[in-house]
């Protein structure tokens, strides 16, 4: 144990990304798009559409706008400083406060991992009738093997391709489904929170603006070490990154919206009760895929669960490494420990869950609860001249970021006042 903490304090680790290394060569846009097709996201969108029809589409719009601004701001930090959000927090915020911030971020990664492992296990139940709790350990084993070896890099592009095809299938299906477009257009722009819907609203917010993704995105960006280049390269990358983020988020908004639209068109009963059975979700793909819809949906859910669990573990490793002011490095104990601290508790929590679908929803809701902590931390860092130099947030951007933070905080207060 003594040797472990001595190793954690070392500053001479060479950056080694393992599974993250591929991100240096693939634009974040495709990866973010795939991130919108994880089990927790599916569950939130299905609950929103099946329970409240087109009414909660506005939350997808608002969340996506927030995400564009926050994700670009996190990338801005990585490009300019060469530090991810976790490392910058350790470097520029006092020890007591930074530990609280980063430990809550680790907790958010655990909640994310729990949803992704659970989604993969539910897929195994749909495909092979394996009990969810046993399936969770199977998914955990696959994920840890991929985390600590190069196995994931060999299959990653195949997973991205397949899961992306399922996501875009939803986009195609809205062209042939019986969508009430007038109501949908109103739902996209008119904020409304029906009675009892706030947990679902917050789960949609948490599923889109995921705290761990802000940490992970800044890690991916700063791993390219653009801060070591001249100012022209930095400014060029800031412009490129924003265009890439904007494009990918618009695609993500479309896929999220399509899921809610299909759930509203096929599963909405008008009684305010969301479906709580993931098996029924496959029926949304029946118009396009026919009788094979449920099997293909389950297979996509399985692959999305594995892929997203790996990402959640990487985020946990990134955040935990940042506590010790280290970059993500899968060959070193701090990162490995961070991955295990994320994945093992997530697995144990699943063993206590009686209603898996509700577990998916409330895990995403917890992400929204942690979100204000991450947002205010990010605002502090990117608004500091000490951290960002001449690339500090403009007054206009600072106002936008504070508006986002206040909206998310207000929704959280409403959630606690109403008692979930």
Q: Using one digit for the tens of pLDDT, what is the confidence trace for 82-137?
A: 888 998 999 999 988 999 999 999 999 999 999 999 999 999 999 999 999 999 99
Looking at per-residue confidence, does 63 or 159 come out higher? Answer: 63
User: Which phi and psi (to 5°) does residue 329 adopt?
Assistant: -150, 100
Q: In terms of pTM, does the model score above 0.75?
A: yes
**Predicted pLDDT of residue 325:** 77
State pLDDT tens for residues 221-261.
665 555 455 666 666 666 677 777 787 788 888 888 988 99
Q: Is residue 9 part of a domain?
A: no
Mean pLDDT on 36-44? 82
Give the whole-angstrom CA distance, residue 135 versus residue 118: 8
In a domain, 1, yes or no: no
Q: What is the mean pLDDT of residues 259-274?
A: 83
Cα separation of 370 and 97, whole Å?
15
What domain range includes position 279?
Answer: 21-417
pLDDT band at 24 (very low <50, low <70, confident <90, very high): very low
How many Cβ atoms are within 10 Å of 168's Cβ, its own excluded?
16
Number of residues that make up the chain: 420
pLDDT, mean over the chain: 83
pLDDT band per the 50, 70, 90 thresholds, residue 14: very low
Q: What is the pLDDT of residue 374?
A: 96
Considering its fold, how many domains does the chain have in total? Answer: 1
CATH number of the domain bearing residue 190: 1.20.1740.10
pLDDT band at 8; cut points 50, 70, 90 = very low
pLDDT at 182: 94
| pLDDT tier, 17 (very low <50, low <70, confident <90, very high otherwise) | very low
Rounded to 5, what percent of the chain is helix, strand, coil?
Answer: 80, 0, 20
Residue 11 lies in a domain: no
- For residue 414, which of 204, 192, 198 has the smallest C-alpha distance? 198
| Conformation bin of residue 187: beta by default, left when phi > 0, alpha when psi is -120 to 50 | alpha
pLDDT at position 33, please? 57
Residue 269 in any domain: the answer is: yes
CB 325 within 8 A of CB 91: yes
C-alpha separations of 84 from 51, 78, 87, 331 in Å: 38, 5, 5, 18
pLDDT confidence band for 160 (50 / 70 / 90): low
Task: Specify the higher pLDDT residue, 222 or 77.
Answer: 77
- Residue 219, pLDDT > 80, answer no
Q: Three-state SS string across 74-113, please?
A: HHHHHHHHCCCHHHHHHHHCCHHHHHHHHHHHHHHHHHHH
Is residue 18's pLDDT more than 50? no
* Contact of 219 with 15, CB cutoff 8 Å: no
Residues 284-304 have a mean pLDDT of: 77
Nearest 5°: CA angle at 366, between 169 and 299?
Answer: 30
Rg (CA), the chain: 20
Distant-in-sequence, close-in-space partners of 7: CB < 8 Å, separation ≥ 6: 332, 333, 334
pLDDT-based confidence at 20, cuts 50/70/90?
A: very low
Q: Distance (Å, rounded) from C-alpha 300 to C-alpha 363?
A: 20
pLDDT category of residue 70 using cuts at 50, 70 and 90? very high
Where residue 1 falls among pLDDT bands split at 50, 70, 90? very low
The residue ranking higher by pLDDT, 188 or 324, is 188
Res 25: pLDDT: 38
In the predicted model, is pLDDT for residue 5 greater than 50? no
> CA 296, CA 88: separation in Å to the nearest integer?
42
Inter-residue contact 56 to 260 (CB < 8 Å):
yes
Residues in contact with 96: Cβ distance below 8 Å, sequence separation at least 6, in sequence order: none
Going by pLDDT thresholds of 50, 70 and 90, the confidence category of residue 7 is: very low
Q: Is there a domain that residue 7 lies in?
A: no
Tell which residue, 147, 311, 326, 76, has the closest CA to residue 213.
Answer: 311
Q: Specify whether the CB–CB gap between 301 and 135 falls below 8 A.
A: no
Q: Cα–Cα distance between 315 and 87 in angstroms, integer?
A: 13
Helices (H), 129-230: 132-148, 151-173, 181-189, 198-208, 211-222
Whether 15 maps to a domain, the answer reads no
- Pick from 20-29, 127-136, 167-176, 352-361: least confident: 20-29
254: in domain: yes
- How do residues 365-399 score in pLDDT, each as one tens digit? 999 999 999 999 999 999 999 999 988 999 999 99
Q: Does residue 169 form part of some domain?
A: yes
């Amino acid at each position: 144990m003594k040797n472990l903490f001595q190793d954690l304090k070392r500053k001479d680790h060479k950056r080694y990304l393992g599974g993250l290394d591929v991100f240096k060569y693939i634009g974040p846009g495709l990866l973010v798009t795939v991130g919108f097709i994880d089990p927790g996201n599916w569950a939130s969108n299905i609950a929103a559409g099946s329970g409240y029809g087109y009414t909660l589409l506005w939350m997808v719009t608002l969340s996506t706008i927030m995400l564009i601004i926050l994700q670009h701001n996190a990338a801005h930090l990585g490009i300019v400083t060469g530090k991810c959000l976790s490392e910058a927090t350790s470097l520029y915020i006092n020890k007591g406060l930074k530990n609280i911030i980063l430990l809550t971020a680790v907790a958010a990664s655990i909640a994310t991992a729990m949803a992704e492992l659970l989604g993969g296990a539910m897929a195994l139940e749909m495909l092979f009738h394996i009990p969810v709790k046993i399936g969770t350990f199977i998914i955990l084993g696959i994920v840890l093997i991929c985390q600590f070896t190069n196995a994931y890099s060999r299959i990653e592009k195949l997973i991205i391709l397949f899961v992306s095809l399922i996501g875009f299938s939803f986009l195609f299906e809205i062209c042939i489904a019986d969508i009430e477009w007038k109501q949908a257009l109103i739902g996209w722009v008119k904020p409304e929170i029906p009675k009892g819907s706030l947990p679902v609203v917050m789960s949609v917010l948490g599923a889109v603006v995921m705290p761990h993704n802000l940490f992970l995105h800044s890690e991916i960006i700063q791993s390219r070490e653009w801060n070591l280049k001249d100012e022209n390269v930095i400014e060029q990358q800031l412009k490129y990154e924003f265009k890439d983020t904007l494009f990918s988020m618009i695609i993500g908004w479309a896929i999220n919206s399509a899921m809610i639209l299909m759930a509203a068109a096929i599963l909405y009963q008008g009684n305010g009760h969301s479906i709580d059975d993931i098996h029924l979700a496959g029926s949304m793909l029946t118009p396009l895929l026919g009788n094979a819809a449920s099997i293909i949906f389950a297979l996509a859910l399985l692959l999305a669960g594995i892929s997203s669990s790996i990402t959640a573990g990487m985020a946990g490793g990134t955040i935990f490494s940042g506590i010790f002011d280290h970059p993500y490095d899968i060959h070193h104990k701090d990162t490995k420990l961070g991955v295990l601290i994320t994945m093992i508790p997530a697995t144990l929590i699943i063993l206590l869950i009686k209603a898996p679908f509700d577990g998916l929803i409330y895990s995403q809701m917890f992400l929204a609860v942690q979100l204000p902590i991450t947002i205010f931390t990010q605002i502090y860092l990117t608004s500091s001249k000490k951290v960002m130099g001449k690339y500090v947030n403009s007054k206009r951007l600072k106002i936008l970021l504070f508006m986002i933070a206040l909206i998310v905080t207000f929704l959280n207060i409403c959630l606690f006042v109403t008692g979930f």
